[in-house]
Chains A and B, each alone.
Chain A
Amino acid sequence: MSSTDTLYLAFLVTGFTVGFGHCIGMCGPIVISLSLNRKGRNLLIPHLLYNAGRIITYAILGGVAGMLGSFTILTSSILSLQKGVLIFAGALVLLMGLAMGGWIPFGRVFGDGDSSSSVFSKSLHRLSAARSPFFHLPLGLLLGLLPCGPVYTALIASARAGMAADSALQGFLFGTGLMLAFGIGTVPSLFLVGRLADFGWIKSRQRIYRITSVLMVVIGIYFIIQGIQY
């Protein structure tokens, strides 16, 4: 096994281990929101698409870090975008929590009889597309940009692999492969959380939805505050 293969394997294992710690804390609320928003419908394809989107973004970032051979050049250029994505993720979790708890009239806000053409209404209307499984791929692509310590660590390794590469293309390929391995490693934990959040096995689901919706509102606000301070 070459040193590059060893590095890929190391980051696959790293993704797996940080997945069951850090990722559940950061991305868990989003994954739970996506599961609960689908209330009993098929979860397999949406979660596969969400994770595929996330991994594609990681791979692109890894490729760029490897090509540049620098972590800080990459991260300083996407800092504002990451801040926006963190606020967006918070707003998404908050809105889904409010809607699930019945504190905002989901139907009306999302267009059932609301003829308002404001940007806010249109944006919310688009969010309702979360009920389509294919919404989850672009969502994963976007949320793959969430600022996250272990992702940064893997990107540092990608940049270092790029520095050691013979050409920019080789650096890009090393970085892409490393982040692909890391991303794939994080899938089992988030997939498991998404499946467990289905609550299909509980008879009194409404109570659970209400409790979870309160938690989602709190977590959404927390994400927004962190995003503003980031």
Chain B
Amino acid sequence: MYCARRFFIRVLLGLLVGICQGAIWSARAADPSPESLVNCSIQEKPCTKELAGISVTLDILPKPVMAMRDLKFQVTLSGEKKTAIPYIDLGMPGMNMGPNRVELRRIKDNVFEGQGVIVRCASGGRTWKATVSLPEVGKVEFVFDVIY
């Protein structure tokens, strides 16, 4: 009876380990690492992406772009299409860090600026995502590394 119970517990633990490993492998296959999602070298230069015929350029100052510092976010739009004032949502890829929105204001015809802070994650993850939303047009994501 004792042996049967021990066998049962071992099988159960083996199954649990197997399920966990399977879950980790499938999660890795479905969800690439945050570092591999990086599409913007914000530490070196502004980044540009196209959205519905509009060229959206994001710059963050001062450089180097560091977490836990007051930063200036600048969005420049180019193209014929006019949009309402854009805004930026900051977050980490694959991790809910709570709502962190940078409200922008127009400083020139197609140039918008706002203040914000990229927070630091104690896990050590450095890859952050800035989602620039153009009302009634759509969203574009810039994924970049910050310095801690």
Contact = CB atoms under 8 A, between A and B. Distances in A.
Interface of A: 10-11, 14, 17-18, 21-22, 25-26, 71-72, 75-76, 86, 146-150, 152-154, 156-157, 182, 204, 207, 226, 229-230
B122 A157 contact: no
Contacts of A14: 98-99
B116 to A, nearest CB: 8
Nearest to B90: A153
B12 to A, nearest CB: 10
A153 B122 contact: no
16 contacts: A10-B99, A22-B96, A71-B117, A72-B68, A72-B69, A76-B68, A147-B120, A147-B122, A152-B120, A153-B97, A153-B99, A153-B100, A156-B117, A157-B99, A182-B98, A226-B123
Nearest to B119: A152
A150 B96 contact: yes
B3 interface: no
Interface in B81-123: 92, 95-100, 116-117, 119-123
Contact of B97 (A150, A182, A207, A230): A150
Majority DSSP secondary structure for residues of A touching B = helix
B104 to A, nearest CB: 14
Interface residues of B, number: 19
A72 B98 CA distance: 18
B117 A72 contact: yes
Contacts of B100: 153, 156
Interface centre among A146, A156, A207 (most CB of B within 10 A): A156
Contacts of B120: 147, 149, 152
Given A86-B122, A148-B122, A156-B119, 7 more contacts: A10-B99, A75-B68, A150-B98, A153-B99, A153-B119, A156-B116, A207-B9
Contacts of B9: 204, 207
A213 to B, nearest CB: 15
A26 B123 CA distance: 8
A230 B98 contact: no
B97 A22 contact: yes
A76 B99 CA distance: 21
Given A156-B117, A207-B9, A149 B122 contact: yes
B50 interface: no
A14 B98 CA distance: 6
A146 B121 CA distance: 11
Contacts of A182: 98
Interchain residue pairs A-B with the least CB separation, the first 9: A153-B98, A152-B119, A150-B98, A149-B121, A149-B97, A147-B122, A14-B98, A153-B100, A21-B96
B35 interface: no
Given A146-B122, A147-B120, A18 B97 contact: yes
Contacts of A154: 98
Contacts of B98: 11, 14, 18, 149-150, 153-154, 182
Contacts of A86: 122
